[in-house]
Amino acid sequence: MIDDHAAVLSAAAAHFNFGRIRVVSDQPLLIETERGMKKIRVWENNALLKIHLKWRERVSGDQFLVDRMYVTRAGYPLVRLGRLSVTCHDAPSLLFKQEGNEKTLAQLIDYLFQNSRGIPAEKPVGSYNAYVHQLYEQTKNSESVQQSEIWSMVSACFSSACARAETADRLRKAHHGRSTVFLLPEDFSYHSFFSLFDTIFFEIGQSRPVNGYGRIAAFFLDKSLMCSEQSMHRLFEAVRENGSMDREMVDLLLAEWYEPAEWVRLLHYGASSRVQDNDLIIQEFRKIWDRKIKLIKVFESIVMQP
Amino acid sequence: MERTASNQINRILFYYDLKPYNYTPHGQLTRIDTIAGSFALKEKVLNDRQIRNLQTVYDLSRRLVIDAVCPLPSKYGDLVIQDSGSSWYLMPWLDETVDDSDFQERYRHLFVKAGQLHMQTRGKAVDCTSLDQGMMRVLAQRQRIWELFMYQAEHHVYPSPFEQAVLSKAFIYLENMQRARNFFSQEKNDNGKQKTLRYALCHGRLSPLHLLIENERVRLTNFENSEDGFFIVETATLFEQASAMLEPEQANWRDFYRSYQSVCPLSSEEQAFLLHFLLFPGAHARLLDQYMHATNQVNEQWFVRQWTKLCRAHQIMYTAIKKEIDEENEIRAARQAKEKSGEEGHAEEEHAET
């Protein structure tokens, strides 16, 4: 790998025309050059690289910046290095401040809804309700779970979890069979956004493209936990004002929040004998469960307004 | 997030990894000074087709087929940057050594550069029936303007000074238009063959201001409307444009023609096309149309002055080019006759020997 590392740096310097290179970090590989800080990505999976090249082509627009591949002196977006491919990207450092900039963020989300579409890497989920039932039936007969505090909570919320799973299934059912779906990187988070010259620099990164509704729902949930309630209201209002959220988007986003994934996580904790702090886990579960219900209400009251 | 003009420029320059220490507006351009050199940033609304045209010319220029000032590629390989609904491109900054207003000098270079562009990209001669049909439509349109003007002028009890000036020359132009109509309506050339003309890359907007002159280095720029076409149309349009732009006595038309012809020799069919195209100038028809549609108080003096200038410039240009082509054809005919007599003499000698 050390040889690979040296070869990668030497290839980057030669093909991307950098005069001097200083390695700032190895993971991710950040280099300082006379043209600023750059991120070097090494790809072992060429099929994934091809998907990313096309994805960036679709997502690049005139409103936002995206971590596109630099072209080499010969005009190619990558350097072949044996079985590996090397790409070079911008590496901005200033994270995008979401509080107060909800309108810009909503515009980007709207733009991604419209343009970041394709075939996701993972297979579509089946009935979540059936999964919840199956999981509960399988686990409840185990003796170890019966006495635990976590299991009491799991049992108490079972019927609600089923109801939520059923709603999620119902919302998704209407939109099954679409050839392309909204895509986001698997590691999508608020760390994917940077501020650059009055706009957002969106980092697609290097991970698989997955169903974007799950990622964006998790992003909204994280944001609601981190930011003020007013900020969340402003973001949903800005999303509504953009006016491009169609029925499919609304249903699939709601389905992600209805899906009781936190209950499934709690069930797994309940089944595990290694869990130490029951209170903390239950507290965390309650926080997410309640927050999701609140988020659904706020979203429906703002975005689904006639 | 409020967007500022300075950050917009910085955002565009981010595509090139450039950090400006100074930028100044220069007409339609912005001069950008960086430690890597000076650049010209241009904002323009371009459609996909125009961007593709720029890419074609960039590829030709990179392969040294043509000498052009093209947009520089960004770090992502784009020639044109799209930002906030507009298109931007960056070019090297050239300190021009010929003033923008020196049209005489600029046209002198322009004819050479146009000839080089056409010569370097020219293809085989192809059937030009569709072009002739297009010319007939243009001619018909201009004839209609003339007829309408004549109809109105002849029905005035006292024709205006401008109308009198036009009427005095009308018979020449109407006859010329008829000659052009006869030419473009012929399906075959003088040898009885299908009429053909050559294709080449045409700039699309040749103008003395789309030429960058820095000392000895002269290059064409603004290629967004370029496309393959019958290049003689562009050449003929350039002559017509120059005759409307330059003062009648200012231009040396024979030099212009020779400089073009020396880098891109025209075939006899292209020469015939050029001469017939120049018989129905667009500037004259546009002036008549402008006069007819003038809503406010018409400045007769201005119209008369423009008309006199156009007619004089056109006459001088047409006569000079015609004379040049006739002389060329005479020399060619004399050379061919000499070669033919030489061949015959040689054949007779061979015959006598046998």
Chain A CA closest to residue B82: A62
Residue pair B241/B69 in contact by the 8 Å Cβ criterion: no
Query: Which tens digits make up the pLDDT trace of B307-351?
Result: 999 999 999 999 999 999 999 889 888 888 888 887 777 767 776
The minimal CB distance from B7 to the residues A69, A70, A197 is found for A197
Cis omega before residue B281 (within 30°)?
no
Q: Does B58 touch chain A (CB under 8 A)?
A: no
Beta carbons of A198 and B3 less than 8 Å apart: yes
The whole-number pLDDT of residue A185 equals: 94
Interface TM-score (ipTM) > 0.90: no
Beta carbons of A198 and B8 less than 8 Å apart: yes
- Phi first, then psi: what are they for B188, rounded to 5°? -115, 160
- Phi first, then psi: what are they for B87, rounded to 5°? -110, 145
- Phi first, then psi: what are they for A53, rounded to 5°? -65, -45
**Which domains occur in chain A, in start order?**
2-90 (3.30.200.20), 102-302 (3.90.1200.10)
**Which domains occur in chain B, in start order?**
5-92 (3.30.200.20), 103-341 (3.90.1200.10)
Q: Where does A50-192 show beta strands of DSSP type E?
A: 65-66, 79-81, 84-90, 117-118, 181-185
- Phi first, then psi: what are they for B137, rounded to 5°? -70, -45
Q: Which residues of chain B from 182 to 201 reach within 8 Å of chain A, CB to CB?
A: none
The whole-number pLDDT of residue B154 equals: 87
Please give the Cα distance from A196 to B34 (Å, whole number): 19
Lowest mean pLDDT among A190-194, B81-85, B144-148, B236-240: B81-85
Chain B CA closest to residue A64: B83
Residue pair B106/B213 in contact by the 8 Å Cβ criterion: yes
The whole-number pLDDT of residue B1 equals: 62
Give the Å distances, CA to CA, from A199 to A56, A95, A105: 17, 11, 9
> Average pLDDT of A214-235?
88
The whole-number pLDDT of residue B211 equals: 94
- Phi first, then psi: what are they for A79, rounded to 5°? -120, 125
> Average pLDDT of B44-68?
92
Residue pair B178/B212 in contact by the 8 Å Cβ criterion: no
Q: Does B17 touch chain A (CB under 8 A)?
A: yes
Please give the Cα distance from B343 to B351 (Å, whole number): 12
The whole-number pLDDT of residue A255 equals: 94
Helix/strand/coil for A234? helix
Chain mean pLDDT for chain A: 88
> Average pLDDT of B40-62?
93
Query: Which tens digits make up the pLDDT trace of B257-272?
Result: 999 999 999 999 999 9
The whole-number pLDDT of residue B35 equals: 92
The whole-number pLDDT of residue B250 equals: 78
Please give the Cα distance from B130 to A115 (Å, whole number): 42
Query: For residue B2, what pLDDT band results from cuts at 50, 70 and 90?
Result: low
The whole-number pLDDT of residue A306 equals: 66
The whole-number pLDDT of residue B3 equals: 65
The candidate with the shortest Cα–Cα distance to B160, out of B23, B298, B343, is B298
Between CA A100 and CA A110, with CA A106 as vertex, the angle to 5 degrees is 170
Please give the Cα distance from B30 to A261 (Å, whole number): 55
Give the Å distances, CA to CA, from B167 to A85, B88, B139, B172, B177: 75, 49, 19, 10, 15
B73 or A179, greater pLDDT: B73
Query: Which tens digits make up the pLDDT trace of B282-292?
Result: 999 999 999 99
Query: For residue B110, what pLDDT band results from cuts at 50, 70 and 90?
Result: very high
Query: Which tens digits make up the pLDDT trace of A120-142?
Result: 877 777 889 999 999 898 888 77
Beta carbons of B4 and A198 less than 8 Å apart: yes
- CB contacts of A104 in chain B (<8 Å) are 1
The candidate with the shortest Cα–Cα distance to B145, out of B259, B282, B298, is B282
